[in-house]
Amino acid sequence: MSGRRFCSFLIGLAILLPGLDTFASSDPTFLITNGSTLYRVTNNAVETFQLDQSITAMVTAPDGTVWAGQTRDTDSDGNAELYILDDPLGTPTLLPQGDFLNPRAVSLAFAGNQLYGLHSTRLYSIDIDQQITTPVGFNGVTGTNGGSLLYDPSTDTLYNAVNTASILYTVDYALINGINPTATAITPISVPNGYGGTEVFDGQFYFAGVTSNQMRLGTIDPQTGEYTQTRVVANVDRQIAVGLAVIPEHSAPADLDQDGDVDDTDYGLLFAAFTGPGSGPPGDPAADLDNDGDVDDADFALAFAAFTGPGESSNVPEPASLGLLAVGGVAVGLRRRR
């Protein structure tokens, strides 16, 4: 495909893929489920999407993929379903990944690349590739039912939070093969209820849950247990298990060859790295512009939105690039200084 024809292809693609906004902030985006309703929350906006399944737990993998679990066994085979939430910054869609959560996992957390699930007081390791759920043992938390797992990669610590007793525990998850892990109570936490979702992102402990018919988003101080509300997300009519995943608001720069512009060369690299929806991880992680673990149409749409043309700075897009193009060496010099 010629560069020009390839560009036309991408123009057509971008027209088919609405809903992009600008590259602006490094603040996180929050994905919150209440049944089959998904809220996408940024500093500026709350958007609402309908999923085709009811989700009770979400978690972000180290590669950026958002995984979603379901406690309802939709096909009545005894196992609950696991999904990838594809294109979380575009139009989020559930992609089925297997039907093997047995028993169902109400809460999910990745500790490194290992996925764990919590159901009632039982902890499970979940092998995504082999599609096997293995009991690890009881979570070591007594006198309380269930709760939400969260993992802090900066300290390699797995926590159990937001249980019915509202106490934050650390869980010694490394004790596997049927030996019950031990849990250590850290502090009471003042979260509004016990059905929330939790996730650690960039050192912050986030919580989302329903109180008084309102979906609330906030942070938990892991030392003092103090809950601080960030915002009311929406009015809701059901207090059910809430899934929370936190992802970067945007997106790697689309200048894949790092020459300062976003042009057909970058599109070509993106095209070469194409994996399709939910089929990552990509060979070239830099091509996964929306950080959702794959390289698909959503990444092309982001690259298209960032198009500058050859030789034009991707940081300060302006229409005067054609003159600079004629003196490419000068243009490179200007870009490098930025």
Residues in touch with Ca ion (CB under 5 A): 73, 75, 77, 79, 86-87, 99, 255, 257, 259, 261, 266, 277, 288, 290, 292, 294, 296, 298-299
Whichever of 74 and 145 has its CB closer to Ca ion, that residue is 74
Whichever of 70 and 166 has its CB closer to Ca ion, that residue is 70
Whichever of 174 and 327 has its CB closer to Ca ion, that residue is 327
> What's the min distance (Å) between Cβ of 70 and Ca ion?
9
> What's the min distance (Å) between Cβ of 73 and Ca ion?
4
Distances (CA, A) of 317 to 25, 85, 226, 311: 17, 32, 44, 11
Whichever of 34 and 93 has its CB closer to Ca ion, that residue is 93
> What's the min distance (Å) between Cβ of 8 and Ca ion?
19
Whichever of 115 and 220 has its CB closer to Ca ion, that residue is 115
Whichever of 249 and 299 has its CB closer to Ca ion, that residue is 299
Bridge partners, 198 (sequence order): 207
* SS3 state of residue 186: strand
Whichever of 199 and 266 has its CB closer to Ca ion, that residue is 266
Distances (CA, A) of 246 to 4, 117, 202, 333: 38, 18, 10, 38
Measured from the Cβ of residue 218, the count of other Cβ atoms closer than 10 Å reads 20
CA triplet 201, 297, 248: central angle to 5 degrees?
15
Handedness of CA 207, 211, 213, 214 (dihedral sign): negative
Whichever of 159 and 304 has its CB closer to Ca ion, that residue is 304
DSSP structure string for 114-142: EEEEEETTEEEEEETTTTEEEEEEE-S--
Beta strand pairing call for 57-60 and 148-152: unpaired
> What's the min distance (Å) between Cβ of 251 and Ca ion?
9
> What's the min distance (Å) between Cβ of 187 and Ca ion?
37
Q: How far apart are CA 245 and CA 28, in angstroms?
A: 10
Q: How far apart are CA 53 and CA 36, in angstroms?
A: 5
> What's the min distance (Å) between Cβ of 77 and Ca ion?
4
Residue type for position 238: R
Place of tokens 């034009």: 312
> What's the min distance (Å) between Cβ of 40 and Ca ion?
14
> What's the min distance (Å) between Cβ of 254 and Ca ion?
8
Cβ(59)–Cβ(85) under 8 Å? Answer: no
Q: How far apart are CA 192 and CA 162, in angstroms?
A: 9
